[in-house]
């Protein structure tokens, strides 16, 4: 089976958003939880293929090159105390003026929720290392791949320091519990897990209007050695 990732789903200018790409793989992994690693920047507007591996593994290929590899996983997270819709709406993203990829489908400040996921997460007042944002999914964004896209960028917001080198997603592990509801506000909460040199880990969760847990994730981010190679905006 082939898939072509449309340019509107970009992360960096010339490659796809990591969470969306991971979601394409995860949709083909059995079960409600998967771990997907990105092996190379996912190309846009080019025919890619899927390959089934052992033990339920799925690979996304560009010719013979592995773009992403996923497999069934287990993920149990202790969630922070809920963030209210009002608190999430009041949060302001610290990335608005320093975002390295301002046209990112998932969180770019130059994108809006009229046409993208565009979750702009910011610190919650009075909550150390807790970020939140609001997402109102479009009708066309109810497939699991879009939940994965929404569970991607928020994991970086509290985890990657704003003065660090631009970072990209290396791995996303996500567990989905319930579909998101189009046209309704969802609170996306994110929190710091830790740092290891150039690597940063954060977690995120999506809750519906009634507090229903839709999904949660852990993201691993790696600082780029050459940000210009990925088209990062100079600071």
Q: Which residues partner with 66 through β-bridges?
A: 61
Residue with tokens 């940063």: 200
Measured between its terminal Cα atoms, the distance across the chain in Å is 41
Contact 75, 218 (CB under 8 A): yes
Question: pLDDT-based confidence at 191, cuts 50/70/90?
Answer: very high
pLDDT at 72: 98
Residue 199: per-residue pLDDT: 98
Tell me the pLDDT tens digit for each residue of 72-118: 999 999 999 999 999 999 999 999 999 999 999 999 999 999 999 99
Question: How confident is the prediction for the chain on average, in pLDDT?
Answer: 97
* Percent of the chain predicted with pLDDT > 90: 97
Residue 235: is its pLDDT beyond 90? no
CATH 2.40.160.210 given to domain 2-230: yes
Residues with Cβ within 8 Å of 170's Cβ and at least 6 positions away in sequence, in order, are 37, 38, 199, 220, 221, 222
Q: What is the pLDDT of residue 195?
A: 97
């Amino acid at each position: 089976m082939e898939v072509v990732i449309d340019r509107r789903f970009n992360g960096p200018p010339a490659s796809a958003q990591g969470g969306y790409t991971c979601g394409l793989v995860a949709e083909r992994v059995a079960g409600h939880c998967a771990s997907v690693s990105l092996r190379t920047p996912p190309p846009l507007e080019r025919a890619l293929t899927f390959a089934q591996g052992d033990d339920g593994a799925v690979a996304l290929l560009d010719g013979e090159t592995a773009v992403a590899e996923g497999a069934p996983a287990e993920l149990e997270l202790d969630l922070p105390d809920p963030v209210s819709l009002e608190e999430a709406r009041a949060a302001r993203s610290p990335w608005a003026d320093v975002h390295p990829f301002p046209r990112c489908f998932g969180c770019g400040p130059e994108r809006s929720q009229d046409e993208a996921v565009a979750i702009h997460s910011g610190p919650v007042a009075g909550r150390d290392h807790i970020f939140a944002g609001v997402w109102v999914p479009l009708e066309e964004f109810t497939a699991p791949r879009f939940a994965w896209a929404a569970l991607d960028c928020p994991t970086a917001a509290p985890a990657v320091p704003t003065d660090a080198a631009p970072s990209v997603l290396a791995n996303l592990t996500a567990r989905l519990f319930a579909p998101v509801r189009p046209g309704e506000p969802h609170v996306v909460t994110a929190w710091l897990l830790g740092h290891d040199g150039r690597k940063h880990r954060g977690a995120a969760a999506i809750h519906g209007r009634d507090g229903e847990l839709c999904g949660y994730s852990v993201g691993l981010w790696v600082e780029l050695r050459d940000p210009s190679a990925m088209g990062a905006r100079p600071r």
